[in-house]
């Protein structure tokens, strides 16, 4: 189970950015303007990681990739316009 919470350095009640859900989170990076995060995660424990944008204010997830590859560690460019991700592809044959 994974989720993302914000906790003030002064203490207090944690704020849910993303509510807990099944699956795993592999990497995350804050967007340069602070409006959200870019996350590589698998949703609902499907064991297939994709890249999502998370809106910081609403917690809304926007899927950025939708393919058969898995994505792990991610980095953002300084201007925030490019994402670099480690991509894993599975090669199989059916006979």
Model confidence pLDDT, tens digit, residues 9-62: 998 898 888 888 888 889 999 999 989 999 999 887 677 899 999 999 998 999
User: Torsion angle, CA of 44/49/50/53, rounded to 10 degrees?
Assistant: 70
| List of E strands, the chain | 2-6, 15-21, 23-30, 36-43, 50-55, 61-63, 70-76, 83-88
> Which pTM was predicted?
0.83
pLDDT for 44 equals 74
pLDDT for 35 equals 92
How far, CA to CA in Å, does 84 sit from each of 39, 72, 79?
12, 10, 13
Using the predicted structure, report yes or no on whether residue 63 has a pLDDT greater than 80: yes
Give the number of other Cβ atoms within 10 Å of residue 56's Cβ.
Answer: 17
């Amino acid at each position: 189970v994974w989720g993302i919470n914000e906790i003030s350095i002064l203490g207090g009640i944690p704020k849910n950015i993303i509510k807990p859900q099944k699956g795993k989170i592999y990497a995350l990076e804050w967007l340069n303007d602070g409006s959200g995060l870019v996350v590589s995660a698998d949703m609902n424990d499907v064991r297939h990681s994709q890249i999502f944008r998370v809106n910081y204010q609403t917690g809304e997830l926007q899927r950025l990739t939708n393919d058969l590859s898995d994505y792990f560690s991610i980095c953002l460019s300084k201007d925030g316009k490019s994402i670099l991700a480690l991509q894993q592809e599975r090669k199989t044959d059916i006979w």
